[in-house]
Amino acid sequence: MINEINKDTQERMDKSLEALKGAFNKIRTGRAHPSILDSIRIDYYGSEVPISQVANINIEDNRTLVVVPWEKNMVPEVEKAIMKSDLGLNPNTAGSNIRVPMPALTEETRKGYTKQARTEAENGRVAIRNIRRDANNQLKALLKDKEISEDEERRAQDEIQKITDKFTVEIDKALATKEEDLMQI
């Protein structure tokens, strides 16, 4: 029973860490990366689909993405969706290729993105703590039902705390990497 709680805690914390990394990918750095466009959705014959399902996204150089829709009639739709996104990008169309230059980041926007990254990291830490709380509550319920002893509960709580500490360190490492990325010129 305790092993199941530990395994569930580990899996949920893994998912929280993956969600944090996904949130970090959406925070734009000065470099071009296809994942920047992941949040953009296109109206494709009446259904909303991610941009990656209607076009190829390639890196032309350090600061330019090239989006090539698979169908020529989708070029204006894709261009419009990129412009409407909250990413502050200005695509240029040449035939069926859409070039998306990444504007250089000012010191002010870098600090804003760093602040956003810190907020996302804190949200990740809160999620990890909530998972720890849930696991500890499950252990208390087992103790109350007399399925485990107090010593077993204490050992299990220590193990859950170790897992929590491990994931908190992972979040801090991911944040440090993202901040370093953002502050590079």
Stated as kind and residue range, the H or E segment containing 88 is none
Q: How far is CA 1 from CA 8, 10, 75, 156, in A?
A: 11, 14, 55, 10
For the entire predicted model, the pTM comes to 0.69
Phi first, then psi: give them for residue 25, nearest 5 degrees. Answer: -65, -30
Token pair for 50: 């991610």
Per-residue confidence of the chain (185 residues) as pLDDT tens digits?
A: 888 988 999 999 999 999 988 888 777 666 677 777 877 888 888 888 888 888 888 888 878 889 888 888 888 888 888 888 877 788 888 888 888 888 777 788 788 888 888 999 999 999 999 999 999 999 999 888 888 888 888 999 999 999 999 999 999 999 999 888 887 76
For the chain, strand residue ranges (E) read 41-44, 47-50, 55-61, 64-69, 92-94, 97-101
The Cα 34–Cα 67 span in angstroms is 9
| Domains along the chain with CATH numbers | 2-26+106-183 (1.10.132.20), 34-101 (3.30.1360.40)
